[in-house]
Structure 1
Amino acid sequence: MVAVLGCAVALGISAVLAEREDAAAEVQMDRRTTAAAETVRFETRRYVDALRMAAAAAGAQQTLTAPEYAGITEPLRDMRLAGVSSVAFVVPAANGNVARVQQTWRDRGATGLTLAPQGDGDHAFTVFVTTLDGRPVPTGIDMLQASAPAAVLAEARRSRDVSVSDTYQLLADQTLPPALRQNSFVLAAPVYQASEFLGWVQLAVRGQSFMGATFAQAGQGLLDLSLRADDSGRRPVTVAELRSAAAGERDLDRTVSVPVADGTWTLHVAAVSNRLPGAHTGLPLAVAGGGLSLTALLTALVWVLVTSRERAQARVRAATADLRAGEAETRRQAVLLQAVLDGISDGVGVVGPDGGFLLHNPAARRILGESGSHPRPDSWPEHFGLFRLDGVPFPAEEMPLARALAGESSDQVEILVRNDVHPDGRVISVSARPLETASGERGAVAVFHDITDRKHVETELRGFAGVVAHDLRSPLTTVRGFAEMISDALAAEPADLALARRGADKVITGAVRMEQLITELLDYTAARDATLRIAEVSLHAIVDDVVTARVDAPDGADLRPDVFVGRLPVVLADPVLLRQVIDNLVGNAIKYTPPGQAPRIDITARAGAGGAVSVQIADRGIGIPDGEHGAVFDSFHRASNGTTHPGTGLGLAICRRIVERHGGHIEAAPNPGGGTIFTFTLPASAVGPSVTEVTAGAASG
């Protein structure tokens, strides 16, 4: 049936085509005209797009210079834009500022630029020129001296887009013999830097050279092509034309409009009908042969389709088997994952975007004392009995899982769990991370670790440290007192007792260092475990108190510290612990200053991200060696800079503990002028004055 029907259709079409050869010629002419017009449109669009790209690149420069313009226009050489003589950058100039404009563009690389204004009023001068046809083009030409360039520049600036001029003869071609001159045109694109108008990028194009190769391609030796545009007097003139080598009367012709930038040109097409493919008597025979061949192909295809049913069914069976195997593997992986989660001692919980638990392993239920229900996130503290370590109910919005749902990760947050299952309370450590669900929405995953036993041990160690520190202070005080008595008694003795005096002094020094170590160990413990008494604190008042005390008691230094204090805000902090941070950092800045140099300290503040205040304490001391700016905050770490300054290595560790307990962070960085800059953040007070970058302030010292 396919073969019979195909043969009948092929022969029928062949007969119809034989009777309508003339109509076929008309259709062929329309198609070729459309193709020729599209070729012309494509070529003109290529020029317009190239110019628009060059103008955009020029506008993107912060300061357009001659080398930058040469680099911008260099790709135009590789585009082989037929007929383009040059691409020039044109700038506007009023009659009174020609000299200033000339100097401006000389400074930007147009050395030797001389502007030649024509007449009074406004001018538009070429300042940069890139020649594309090898013919030199001078700069400084006033483009407004010719009506066509003047009109296209004005229209391009008005429309803020590429504009095409009327047809005219280029100023650079006026020196050529009349037989060599071509009807040409100009494409201009405005250049803007932000919203400021800078000038134009202008392409000068010779018409016949522009369309010669394009017409040869579009005409294919069968069509006469003529492209016409208006001149400045609105008279149509020929921009480019091509006559085919086909002999005979041109009995078919078409006229179409071709848009060029913001203008419209006219394309005239003529042809000899019996020279067009498809307009001769061989077409019906070709269609008949092609139809019969297609019929044979379709017949073979139908046969293949009929016999391919069994092959398709075999492929379906194989795919089904693979799908079942994949499903079985997925189930096995799910069972394995569930077994792992059920077997680990740490709790794991996964919640969806609404806060509902998607996964809760047995360890998590045991640690939290979970009763089987799934409360909303805002009721988690009440449902599970979650408190801070000081007994205050844990805020729902600060829960690690709640923060992870908001996209914020958290690590080792310590929470007290006290409920019916854990009436005595359990201390757990929680770490949480955001999690993308299969639907693309955000969920969260948390890991719970029971640290109750560890906290008990830490409490016992802190109590032991307190007792030891208290018991050690009394004998140290006695040792130091008797050593000072011995030193005073030996001061008036003969010089042969100098060794004994030095020994007594060493005992006093050792006792002082031991007292300092005990004090800082207790401070280190208190910085982590003392109850925070948050209040609105004047940072300026605390800094002023610390600076006054340090300047009035410079530890025996001969040079008085020079301290600059900028405008500081009100913050939310524990005043006692905050004073300890400021005192440690200022004390370090004074202590670690090279001998013979007055300590210089700058204390400033500025607004940070998320409603925080960023405080900076910058010194001009000996600095911290590269690679140790993070390690100096570790316990008992002392920078390896070769100094002999005494210390326990706990001061900066205490600062970090206090700042982190306030929800901030502290870091150290090199000071460009020498020394170190310590930066830490604190919560800002809602009622305090705004913080600005400090440029002036009160100086002490």
Structure 2
Amino acid sequence: MLVLALVVALGLIGTVLAAVALRHAEQDRRARALSQQTGMVGQVVTGEMRRYSTSLSDLAAAIGAQSRLEAPEFTAITAPVDRQRLPGASGVGFVVPTPADRVAETQAYWRARGVPVTLRPSPAALGSHRFLVLSHSIDGTEPPLGLDLAASVEATEAMRIAEESHGVATSRTYRLLKDASLPPEQRQLSFVLAAPVYSTSPDAADTGQLRGWVTMGLRGRDFLHEAIGAAAKDTVAVTLSDVTSGDPLPVASWEPRVPMDNAVGSRQVPVAVPQRSWALTVQATRRLLAGDDDLHLEAGAWVTGIVITALLAALTATVIGSRDRALRRVDAATSALRTDIARREEVEQQLRRREAELVGFAGIVAHDLRSPLARVLGYADFLRDEAADRLDPEHRVFLDRLHGGAQRMQALIDDLLDYATADNRRIARVPVDLQRLAGEVAREQAGDGEVTVTRLPVVEGDPTMLRQVLDNLIGNAIKYTAPGVRPMVRVGCRPDGNDQWRIDVTDNGIGIPEEDRANVFTAFARARGSEDYPGTGLGLAIVARIVERHHGRTGVEAAPGGGSVLWFTLPAMAAIAPDGDDDGGAEAAEAARVAQPMQPSSP
């Protein structure tokens, strides 16, 4: 009897201890699973917002590149945007700013371009109206053209922020104007993404000016359902809030029709959206760890408490089995996340390959255009030399225009070829005397200007490529000078660290605005103020590619007293000893003389 009592007592004590341990283990597994699910949901929502913002930026860039925007061009640009690509969006629209006294003029302008629009100014507009003149529906509902978005304080605020930041902006939540006709129970809290559209076409009359905004409406519940429905399923409840102003404002929520698990609390993660701060609050449901509710481990421990040995063995096996199952689920979720990251990296690599193919395609096209263009220039030169006297003045003007256009096209083709081949052209690494190279370029480019070349080092590189770098930089410094001002250019150098030379090309030209300096070495980029100067926008991009292949860097700064300082760096080299060749001995000796004292040192 005493032994039986002892066994029962030990069994009860073991059962209680095992039940408590199981309860804590269960809560720990649910807490870790909730944290894992929260991180995954946060990444999915952030990725979706980034994808929507990128798509809107691409649409704004494409519309801004049109020299003359009309309804067919807008339809063609927005045609790829559908529910399959952006499932949470309701539609895309083009909004134009219109002063109150130019409403009739704006309406006539767009009607002349094939848009049957009737502008309806809102009495709530303060200052300028913002009319929807073009639209592309994604959800099948067409918003009325001519709608004044100035009636929406939230949409107007988003467009203002987008214009000031020159990027995509997110509005506060509100109910879309196009949903006003829906029954109240079907109206959702929504938000708008807005991107400014600036004219970038060199053929457009409004180049560099704001044309309007591309807007994309998203209904909050639909967006959240499409974004996380497949990932969250019924394992968690999600609430998306706008915390920009401090007090959380609801955006959308996802609530599965299953009981909530309040024992593990909730988790909150930030979500990056353009120009606003959002937060995701995630709470677990009873389905977070599917199947665990049926185990009833604690009750089983009490039932089998009479047999202490069997109870301990069963409890231990159950704990280990439950933990292994939880870890397998975590591993499966982590594997799925890694697979998604690998897929995205593969997509990025494909995009890089497509970019390389486009560059190669541009080079092939430019190369194939050279031959017919040479014939055009040849015939034009022949007509100017041989038949100009027999032509009417008007015809001679046409011939001069033909010749000038062909020359500009020849320059564009040359720049395209240089840009396309700058990445893969073979580099002949030999000692290059930059001082002599810059002097030759200065004599060719100077014209009526003054180009001063100070002492420059000898570096190892491709002389043809480095000559092109100096030719482009010195040529730009002379070209982009205000009318009536004599170009003054200085080419100098200084050490940049222990093993780099920095070459500076300083001018007294029109300068580069600070906000444009980050993009001047990008292909086809033109800084504001350079619109009246000829150019293709590829010269500095070619410079950047050549310098990068020489393991250097490029940059631009404001010059003291006006103008700009465009610089690049090149690795330093040891002194070059002259060889015994009769033809190159003098040149190598001079290179050695210049290279020997010009060794960079720490400033």
Query: Which of the two has greater strand per residue?
Result: 1
Range of TM-score over shorter length: 0.3 to 0.5
Question: When the two structures are superposed, what TM-score results if normalisation uses the length of structure 2?
Answer: 0.43
Question: When the two structures are superposed, what TM-score results if normalisation uses the length of structure 1?
Answer: 0.38
Higher RCO (Cα < 8 Å, 6 or more apart): 2
